[in-house]
Structure 1
Amino acid sequence: MRFLSASLASLAMALAAAAPAMAKDAPGAAIAPSLAMPDVTEQVPQDAPKLIVAISVDQFSADLFAQYRQHFTKGFTRLLQGGVYAQGFQSHAATETCPGHSTLLTGVHPARTGITANSWYVPGIGRADKEVYCVEDESDPRSTPDVPVVSPKHLLAPTLGDLMKKANPRTINAAVSAKDRAAVMMSGHDTDAVYWIGEKGFTTFEGRRISKAAEAENAELTRRIAAGDGPLAVPGWCGRVDRATPIGNFTIGTWRFPATAGDYKSYVNGPRVDTATAEMAVRMVDELGMGKDAVPDVLSVSFSATDKVGHAFGTEGVEMCVQMNVLDEALGYLFDQLDARGIDYEVVLSADHGGFDAPERQQLRGNPDAVRIDSALGAKALAAAVSQDTGVTVPNGPLLYGAGEAGSIWLSAELTGEQKAKVIPALVARLKANPQIAAVYTQDQIMQWPEPKGHPQDWTMEQKVRASFVPGRSGEVQMLTVRGVVPGKAAPFKVASHGSPWDYDRRVPMLFWRKGMTGFEQPNPVETVDIAPTLAATVGLSAPAGTWDGRCLDIDATEADSCRR
Structure 2
Amino acid sequence: MYQRIFKAFILIFALVITSGNATAQRKSKKNNAVETKDPINTTPKLVVGIVVDQMRYDYLTRFWNHYENGGFKRMVNEGFNCKNNHYNYAPTNTGPGHTSVYTGTTPATHGVISNNWYDKATGTSVYCASDDSYNSVGTTSDAGKMSPHRMQTTTITDELRLHTQMRGKTIAIAIKDRGAVLPGGHTANAAYWFDGNTAGNWITSTYYMNELPKWVADFNSEKSVAKYKKPWTTLKPINTYVESVMDNNAYEGLFKGETAPTFPHDFPKLWEENGSYDILKSSPYGNSLTTDFALAAVDGEGLGADAIPDFLAVSYSSTDYAGHKFGVDSKEIQDTYIQLDRDLARLFSALDKKVGVGEYTVFLSADHAANPVPAYLKDKKVLTTIFDRKVMLEELNEYVKFTYGTTDLIKNISNNQIFLDHDVVKNLDMNLKDVQENLAAEILGYKAIDHVYTAYQMWQNDYTRGIPHLIQNGYNEKRSGDVIYVQKPNTMSYSSTGSSHGSPYIYDTHTPLLFFGKGIKNGSTVARTEIPDIAATMAALLGISFPSGTTGKPIVEVLD
Q: 1:469 to 1:461 in 2, by over 3 A?
A: same
Q: For 2:307 and 2:179, how far apart are their aligned partners in 1?
A: 28
Distance 1:412 1:312, change over 3 A: farther
Contact 2:156 2:546 in 1 (8 A): no
Q: CA deviation at 1:386?
A: 2.5
- Cα pair 1:132 1:138 within 8 Å, conserved: no
Q: Give the C-alpha shift of residue 288 in structure 1.
A: 1.3
1:409 aligns with 2:418: yes
| Deviation of the 1:215 alpha carbon | 2.5
* 1:224 Cα offset (Å): 1.1
- The aligned counterpart of 1:203 is 203
1:160 to 149, 156, 159: 156
Counterpart check, 1:500 vs 2:503: yes
For residues 505 and 517 of structure 1, the distance between their equivalents in structure 2, rounded to whole angstroms, comes to 27
1:289 is matched with 302
Offset at 1:264?
1.7
The alpha-carbon deviation at position 247 of structure 1 amounts to 5.1
Whether contact under 8 Å (1:177, 1:304) holds in the other structure is yes
1:183–1:44 Cα change, 3 Å: farther
- 3-state SS of the aligned residue for 2:375? helix
Q: d(CA) in 2 for partners of 1:206 and 1:342?
A: 30
Amino acid of the residue matched to residue 205 of structure 2? Answer: F
- 1:399 corresponds, among 397, 403, 410, to 410
User: Contact between 1:133 and 1:148, CA under 8 Å: does it hold in 2?
Assistant: no
The residue aligned with 1:244 is 248
- For structure 2, the residue ranges without an aligned partner over 5 or more in a row are 1-37, 137-141
- The answer to whether structure 1 residue 434 and structure 2 residue 446 are counterparts is yes
CA contact (8 A) 2:171 2:190 kept: yes
Q: 1:516 to 1:155 in 2, by over 3 A?
A: closer
Give the match for residue 553 of structure 2. 551
Residue 323, structure 1, aligned to residue 301, structure 2: no
Tell me the residue number matched to 2:232. Answer: 231
Question: Offset at 1:45?
Answer: 5.8
User: Which amino acid counterpart does residue 452 of structure 2 have in structure 1?
Assistant: V
* Greater C-alpha radius of gyration: 2
Q: Which residue of 2 aligns with 1:278?
A: 291
Q: How far apart, CA to CA, are the structure 2 residues paired with 1:252 and 1:412? A: 47
- Shift of residue 117, structure 1, vs aligned partner: 0.9
Please tell me the residue identity of whatever aligns with 2:410: L
Structure 2 equivalent of residue 533 of structure 1: 536
Structure 2 counterpart of 1:131: 125
- 3-state SS of 2:149 partner: coil
Post-superposition offset of 1:399? 3.5
SS of 1:265's equivalent in the other structure is helix
Distance (Å, rounded) in 1 between the aligned partners of 2:60 and 2:393? 35
What TM-score do the two structures reach when normalised by structure 2?
A: 0.81
Change (3 A) 1:484 1:322: same
User: 1:131-530 counterparts in 2 under 5 A?
Assistant: 131-137=125-131, 149-168=145-164, 169-199=166-196, 200=199, 201-206=201-206, 208=209, 209-221=211-223, 224=226, 228-236=229-237, 237-239=240-242, 240-246=244-250, 254-260=262-268, 261=271, 263-343=276-356, 344-367=359-382, 369-376=383-390, 378-379=392-393, 382-394=396-408, 399-403=410-414, 406-412=415-421, 415-419=424-428, 421=432, 424-450=436-462, 452=464, 459-490=465-496, 495-514=498-517, 518-530=521-533
Hey, what's the Cα distance between the residues in 2 that align with 1:392 and 1:202? Answer: 49
Stretch moving more, 495-504 or 70-79:
70-79
CA distance in 1: counterparts of 2:52 and 2:296, whole angstroms? 20
Q: Counterparts of 2:401 and 2:320 in 1: how far apart (Å)?
A: 37
- Quick check: 1:56 aligned with 2:62? no
Deviates more, 1:197-206 or 1:420-429: 420-429
Distance (whole Å) between structure 1 residues aligned to residue 247 and residue 472 of structure 2: 41
CA drift at 1:219 = 3.5
How far the C-alpha of 1:407 sits from its partner, in A, is 1.5
1:130-171 deviations in Å (ceiling 9; x for gaps) = 2111111267899xxx96721111111111111111121211
Please tell me whether the aligned partners of residues 123 and 411 of structure 1 are also in contact (alpha carbons under 8 angstroms): no
Q: Judge conservation of contact 1:363–1:370 (CA < 8 Å) in 2.
A: yes
